[in-house]
Amino acid sequence: MQNRIVLISDDSDFFEYISSKLKLRKSDELYRYSFDELPEKIQLINSSLLIINSENSEDKTLELLEIAKGTPSIVFSFNDNENFRIKAYRNGALDFITLSTSDEELEAKLVPALNIVSSFEKNNLYREMLVKNNLVTQNNEVFLDYNNMLDREIEKIKTGSISAVLAAISPNDKTKFLLKANQIETTILNNIRKNDILMNFAPNKYFLLLYNTDIESAEKIWEKIVYYIPEKIYAGFAAVGNKNRQQLVNEVLNKLHESMHKNSKTDIGSSNTYIENYKLYKQEFNKKFEMIISPVFYQIQQMYNNKLFGMNIQQEIGEGYGNLYINSKYSEGRFRITSPGQSKINIDITFQSIKLENKKASPYPQTKRITLEPDEFEAGLLEDLLEQFIIEFKSEVNIGNT
Per-residue pLDDT for 130 more than 70? no
Domain assignment of residue 65, yes or no:
yes
Per-residue pLDDT for 269 more than 60? no
The count of structural domains within the chain is 3
The arithmetic mean of pLDDT across residues 280-300, rounded, is 72
Read off the pLDDT of residues 326-342 as tens digits, 9 standing for 90 and up.
Answer: 888 778 889 999 876 65
Tell me, what amino acid is at 283? Answer: Q
**Rounded-to-integer distance, Cα 354 and Cα 390, Å:** 18
* Alpha-helical runs (H) found in 6-95: 12-22, 38-41, 58-67, 82-90
- Per mean pLDDT, which range of 63-77, 119-133, 206-220 is the poorest? 119-133
∠308-312-315 over CA atoms, to 5°?
125
Read off the pLDDT of residues 13-49 as tens digits, 9 standing for 90 and up.
Answer: 888 888 888 877 777 788 888 888 876 666 566 668 8
Domain assignment of residue 401, yes or no:
no
**Rounded-to-integer distance, Cα 271 and Cα 344, Å:** 12
Read off the pLDDT of residues 164-204 as tens digits, 9 standing for 90 and up.
Answer: 999 999 887 666 666 666 778 788 888 888 788 888 887 77
- Which among 240, 261, 282 is the end of a domain? 261
pLDDT of the residue at 183: 78
291 shares a domain with 311: yes
Assign 257 a pLDDT band (cuts: 50, 70, 90). Answer: confident
Helix (H, G, I), strand (E, B) or coil at 315: strand
pLDDT of the residue at 167: 94
Helix (H, G, I), strand (E, B) or coil at 204: coil
Contact 149, 130 (CB under 8 A): no
127 shares a domain with 9: yes
348 shares a domain with 391: yes
Domain assignment of residue 250, yes or no:
yes
- Per mean pLDDT, which range of 38-42, 73-77, 129-133, 352-356 is the poorest? 129-133
299 shares a domain with 245: no
Domain assignment of residue 267, yes or no:
no
- Which among 231, 261, 291 is the end of a domain? 261
Assign 238 a pLDDT band (cuts: 50, 70, 90). Answer: very high
Helix (H) or strand (E) holding 205: strand 205-211
**Rounded-to-integer distance, Cα 80 and Cα 158, Å:** 55
Distance, first Cα to last Cα, the chain: 44
Who has greater pLDDT, 399 or 300?
300
pLDDT of the residue at 40: 64
The arithmetic mean of pLDDT across residues 230-258, rounded, is 88
* Residue 112: φ, ψ to 5°: -65, -35
pLDDT of the residue at 263: 43
Domain assignment of residue 266, yes or no:
no
Structural domain boundaries enclosing 292: 273-396
∠346-311-177 over CA atoms, to 5°?
75
From edge to edge, which strands make up the β-sheet containing 233-239?
Answer: 197-202, 205-211, 164-171, 233-239
- Dihedral sign, CA of 344, 378, 393, 331? positive
Contact 137, 199 (CB under 8 A): no
pLDDT of the residue at 400: 42
* Average pLDDT over the chain, rounded to an integer: 77
Q: 189 Cβ partners below 8 Å, 6+ apart?
A: 140, 141, 142, 198
The arithmetic mean of pLDDT across residues 299-307, rounded, is 78
Please state, as a whole number, how many other Cβ atoms lie within 10 Å of the Cβ of residue 83: 8
- Which among 261, 281, 297 is the end of a domain? 261
Assign 215 a pLDDT band (cuts: 50, 70, 90). Answer: very high
384 shares a domain with 303: yes
C-alpha to C-alpha distances, 11 to 24, 31, 76, 178, 326, nearest whole angstrom: 21, 14, 12, 43, 65
281 shares a domain with 207: no
Q: Which of 242, 99, 256 is nearest to 168 (CA)?
A: 256
Per-residue pLDDT for 273 more than 60? no
125 shares a domain with 84: yes
pLDDT of the residue at 34: 86
Per-residue pLDDT for 53 more than 50? yes
Give the side-chain half-sphere CA count within 13 A for 118: 10
234 shares a domain with 176: yes
Per-residue pLDDT for 50 more than 60? yes
Contact 33, 64 (CB under 8 A): no
Domain assignment of residue 139, yes or no:
no
Domain assignment of residue 367, yes or no:
yes
pLDDT of the residue at 174: 66
> Hey, what's the torsion of the CAs at 110, 116, 118, 120, to 10 degrees?
-150
* CATH code of the domain containing 37: 3.40.50.2300
Domain assignment of residue 46, yes or no:
yes
290 shares a domain with 231: no
* CATH code of the domain containing 213: 3.30.70.270
256 shares a domain with 187: yes
pLDDT of the residue at 121: 63
pLDDT of the residue at 237: 95
355 shares a domain with 331: yes
The arithmetic mean of pLDDT across residues 78-92, rounded, is 85
Distance of alpha carbon 294 from the chain centroid: 29
Read off the pLDDT of residues 359-399 as tens digits, 9 standing for 90 and up.
Answer: 554 555 677 888 777 766 777 788 888 888 888 887 765 44
Q: State what percent of residues in the chain have pLDDT above 90.
A: 7
367 shares a domain with 331: yes
